[in-house]
Amino acid sequence: MALTIILAIVFAILGGAAFEWGGAVFGALSGIFLGTLMSLGGRVNQLEAQLKALRSKVGELGRVQVTESNSVSEPVAPVATPSVTPVEVAPIAVSPVAISEKKSPQFAQPRQTMTPATDAQQVIYRENIFDKLTKYILAFFTDGNVFAKIGIIITFFGVAFMVKYAAERSLFPVEARFIFAAIIGISFLIFGWRLRLSKTLFGLLLQGGGVGVLYVTVFAAAKLFNMLPLGLALTVMIALVAFSALLAILQDAKYLALFGAAGGFLAPILTSTGGGSHVMLFSYYALLNLGIVSIAWYRSWRELNLLGFVFTFVIGLSWGAKYYQPMYFNSVEPFLILFFVFFVFIAVLFALRQPPQLKGYVDGTIVFGVPIVAFALQTALIKDIQYGLAFSALVMSALYVGLAISMWKRAAQGLRLLIESFLALGVVFGTLAIPLALDGHWTSAAWALEGAAIIWVGVRQQRLLPRLFGIFLQLASGVAYFSAIVRIDRVIHFVGDSNSEWLFLNSTYLGAVLISLAGLFASFYLYKHREKLHEAEAASHIFLLVWGLVWWLGAGQREIFNYLDMHDQMRHVAASILLFVTGSGVLLQRVEQRLQWPPARYPVLGLIAVMYAMLLLMLGTYHKHPFDLPGGAAWAAAFVAQYFILWQYRQVVNHVALRWQHVLSFWLLVYLCSWEASWLLQHAALGSTWQDAMWGVIPALSLLVLFGLRSRLRWPLAEHYAWYLVTAGSVLVAWLWFCAVGYSVFSAGNPWPLSIYIPLLNPLELAVAFMLLVIIRWRMEFKFTDVIAAIHPLARWVIPANAIAGFILLNGMIARCVHHWLGVPFTLDALNRSMEFHTALSVVWTITALTITFIATRLARREFWYVGAALLGAVVIKLFIVELGNSGTLTRIISFLSVGILLLLINYFSPIPPRKQETSL
């Protein structure tokens, strides 16, 4: 209630001074409303504190009850001379009833009564700024001599209003008015000094009020009436500043300094008539701040520092918003620099002048508030000057970094937090200077960097709200970035300046990079201090890592896309993006390894996915071959980087995931080499047969190279040879088999460089035979490894599959012979109508069957003999169904005679082998 009345009176006085009676009524109502609101806030906080205290007591009761219950249930062995050592449990008192109940096991939870908690046992809750302001105002107006405090404030306002009222109405001679005001101020000083020992607080209040009255008198006499020369007025005010600072220091009187400084800052406001020189105003405030600096040299009075900071910059901002014009720049800029330097120096003095147990304590409001406010004012002053903000940010960065280095070299004890804060500010303003110089999206970049700095401070101070606000600023920076894009009508080309000739050296791209770096730093710092985080923000570092990488990769991709589009080089977009992602992956790997940042390993291992995506992009954009410049350099760099990453993570990443990386890399390398070899032969005009054959020959050669380097290349082959042989090799073998079958069936076979077609001595059939031999060699490789047991179910099908592929190749050779020698078109319909083709098939199939049955008889393998017999059955069926209806007499005679004679030979030379149990081994 007292606070509400005090605020109502103060606001009524201020409102009446500004707007007479109406302002007084409105001010009183505003004071009542604010006082009621602050009172309710204080009550809510008190109730929350009491609730936390009760919860803490309930938890303690539960723990004590469980302990006592366990002690009751445990059997106690009898002893000869029992002795009991009393144990004090504070602050919980156990009633006699509870003690008696402990004798029986059925009473598991004795009743207890709590003693009232003392002040030291109360739960301390974290106060917000309104709680602190409420407590400070209540303490000021309720502790000590309340009537003296209110009286001195009202007297100060009365003298100021008297001077203003008399000046506006010319009631008294000018000299008489100021002599009377000066007498009041000097009287306050004299009486306050005499009462400093007997009534200390009252005497200090009188001295502070006297200093404030003298400030008003001298300032009004010099500014409003020109009664005092500016030089003399300046001298007198310097003397007042020094005098008030001396009084405050000698008497260790914080309130005296506060009253004197507040009076000095209010003097120009209370005596203002809307005119006068801003140079005089800022010179006067510079003197007042010089006094605050001199006091800060001896005393660490945070309230005085904040009072000077708030008055100086708020009044300066108000004057600038109402009166500033570009012509005032030369007279305003020096004062802004001077005030900035003053309060940076005050921040250092405050940390130095702390008591030993608080040495290095940082006033965050001054340390971080001064550069933010000063830079905002500087922006308003030099917004029309080219590169003005960039140079300002660079100078501020140099100042903060220089101060941090200077304090670090001097080994200032206990100033580590201040040094880190200055260094962080230096880095922020230094990085901000880059997009400012390049006219980029500096607002979003500044928000992102500020958010990262706030997260850093929140982690160090173990406060949840600053960390959440820092994460919010990261997101807000992205929104601001895209809002700026929309305003300048760059929705499509949202990264990169289409009018810029410099790749990556334009403000729009660098702004996005700063957002990315801020997110990555915040992610790393939250991960490193994850034990200090709340459960709700446990995954925040993962989100920020993804956020930062998306901005980094997205900005680079769009920058490359826009630049190549502008220069009509879109065919190089896939290779350029691959180069950018490869460099980014290697950089992130080095950072992760240097900083020990395990979550960053997963994006690094995603390079192989990007490589496959770029392959699809190349295929989709109809690239002729993958190694077209700069494609060759891009793929070479990508594979070097990929295997470098695999080498670095060979001991720290899950082996299964790492081995799959090896397999995927090997497949991609084989595919690209096959594509490039096929294009080279096409470019050399060797014909489509040679070009198509490379898609099977290169994978076959890759397997042979794999076999040959097994024992020579310790990494990666020897270490992961089973995966290369089984997983990677089995897919390549399957690919080779399908290629062999496909070439045999669908290719007519260009015999170049020969002029005529010769079976087996042509590129196609040599390639197919080579593939089938490599498949056999792959199966034989299992004998030299220890994976035969695991691969046996797959490897046992190699021989039958190769036999089938060989038979298909043999039929293809017959079809190509008929095509090249007899001129039959190489189509299914034409070959099916060709009697020569069917006759050749019948003869060859019968010879093949004879060969199979002969070998089966010699090896005593009935299953092989059945295969030959089945092939003979197919020949007989073919003779009677297909060739019997043909009109060609000669070919029909040749078919039937040859098949009949071969069947007789089979019956004579290759009888069916006996069963195994009938043979003697």
The pLDDT value recorded for residue 695 is: 94
Report the 10 Å Cβ neighbour count for 812. 24
Over range 417-434, report the average pLDDT: 80
CA 797, CA 647: separation in Å to the nearest integer?
Answer: 35
**Residue 86 CB-density burial (10 A; 0-12 exposed, 13-18 middle, 19+ buried):** exposed
CA 227, CA 220: separation in Å to the nearest integer?
Answer: 9
CA 245, CA 115: separation in Å to the nearest integer?
Answer: 50
Q: What is the pLDDT of residues 204-218, one digit of tens each?
A: 767 777 777 787 787
* 593 phi-psi bin (left φ>0, alpha ψ -120 to 50, beta other): alpha
Band (513; pLDDT cuts 50, 70, 90) = very high
Band (7; pLDDT cuts 50, 70, 90) = low
The pLDDT value recorded for residue 142 is: 52
Instruction: Report which listed range, 79-93, 618-632, 698-712, is most confident.
Output: 698-712
The pLDDT value recorded for residue 364 is: 76
Q: What is the pLDDT of residues 103-157, one digit of tens each?
A: 333 333 434 444 444 443 333 444 544 555 556 555 555 555 454 455 556 555 5
CA 607, CA 638: separation in Å to the nearest integer?
Answer: 8
The pLDDT value recorded for residue 263 is: 65
More confident residue, 11 or 641: 641
Q: Which helix (H) or strand (E) holds 562?
A: helix 540-566
CA 224, CA 324: separation in Å to the nearest integer?
Answer: 21
The pLDDT value recorded for residue 81 is: 41
The pLDDT value recorded for residue 780 is: 85
For the stretch 137-155, what's the b/e string if a residue is b when 16 or more beta carbons lie within 10 angstroms of its beta carbon?
A: bbeebeebeeebbeebbeb
Among 516, 495, 517, smallest CA distance to 504 is for 495
Which three-class secondary structure state does DSSP give residue 490? Answer: coil
**Alpha-carbon separation of residue 394 from 443, 764, 772 (angstroms):** 16, 69, 69
Among 619, 620, 590, 618, smallest CA distance to 604 is for 590
Q: List the structure tokens of 535.
A: 């459960």
Q: Are 614 and 578 in contact (CB under 8 A)?
A: yes
One DSSP character per residue, 288-354 reads HHHHHHHHHHH---HHHHHHHHHHHHHHHHHHHHHH--GGGHHHHHHHHHHHHHHHHHHHHHHHHTS
Residue 771 scores a pLDDT above 80: yes
CA 899, CA 904: separation in Å to the nearest integer?
Answer: 9
Q: Are 726 and 787 in contact (CB under 8 A)?
A: yes
The pLDDT value recorded for residue 19 is: 46
Which three-class secondary structure state does DSSP give residue 499? Answer: coil
CA 257, CA 246: separation in Å to the nearest integer?
Answer: 9
**Residue 550 CB-density burial (10 A; 0-12 exposed, 13-18 middle, 19+ buried):** middle
The pLDDT value recorded for residue 9 is: 57
CA 513, CA 440: separation in Å to the nearest integer?
Answer: 11
Band (846; pLDDT cuts 50, 70, 90) = confident
The pLDDT value recorded for residue 635 is: 94
- HSE-up of 627 (CA within 13 Å, CB side)? 15
Band (913; pLDDT cuts 50, 70, 90) = low
Band (82; pLDDT cuts 50, 70, 90) = very low
Among 574, 658, 645, smallest CA distance to 615 is for 574
CA 382, CA 841: separation in Å to the nearest integer?
Answer: 93
CA 901, CA 580: separation in Å to the nearest integer?
Answer: 71
Q: What is the pLDDT of residues 525-578, one digit of tens each?
A: 999 999 888 888 888 999 999 999 999 999 999 889 888 877 767 778 888 999
The pLDDT value recorded for residue 427 is: 75
The pLDDT value recorded for residue 856 is: 81
According to DSSP, the residues that pair with 563 across neighbouring strands are: none
CA 201, CA 403: separation in Å to the nearest integer?
Answer: 39
Token pair 């095509």 is found at 819
Instruction: Report which listed range, 382-386, 495-499, 698-702, is most confident.
Output: 698-702
Among 807, 794, 648, 788, smallest CA distance to 740 is for 807
CA 383, CA 40: separation in Å to the nearest integer?
Answer: 44
Band (505; pLDDT cuts 50, 70, 90) = confident
The pLDDT value recorded for residue 117 is: 41
Among 280, 166, 266, smallest CA distance to 214 is for 266
Token pair 């069957």 is found at 849
Q: List the structure tokens of 78.
A: 């009898």
CA 379, CA 821: separation in Å to the nearest integer?
Answer: 88
More confident residue, 241 or 808: 808
Over range 654-659, report the average pLDDT: 82
Q: Are 249 and 295 in contact (CB under 8 A)?
A: yes
**Average pLDDT value for the chain:** 76
Residue 765 scores a pLDDT above 60: yes
Cα four-point dihedral sign 673, 678, 680, 686: positive
Q: What is the pLDDT of residues 485-494, one digit of tens each?
A: 665 544 444 4
Report the 10 Å Cβ neighbour count for 60. 15
The pLDDT value recorded for residue 600 is: 94
Residue 58 scores a pLDDT above 50: yes
Q: Which residues contact 817 (CB under 8 A, 6 or more apart)?
A: 757, 759, 840
The two counts, helices (H) then strands (E), for the chain are 33, 2
Among 733, 731, 723, smallest CA distance to 663 is for 723
DSSP state of 116: P
Residue 611 scores a pLDDT above 50: yes
CA 130, CA 407: separation in Å to the nearest integer?
Answer: 34
The pLDDT value recorded for residue 622 is: 60
The pLDDT value recorded for residue 791 is: 54
CA 324, CA 338: separation in Å to the nearest integer?
Answer: 18
- HSE-up of 208 (CA within 13 Å, CB side)? 28
The pLDDT value recorded for residue 569 is: 74
CA 768, CA 746: separation in Å to the nearest integer?
Answer: 13
More confident residue, 741 or 247: 741
Band (604; pLDDT cuts 50, 70, 90) = very high
Residue 39 scores a pLDDT above 70: no
- Helix ranges, 709-832 (H): 721-722, 729-746, 763-780, 788-795, 798-822, 828-832
Percent of the chain whose pLDDT exceeds 70? 68
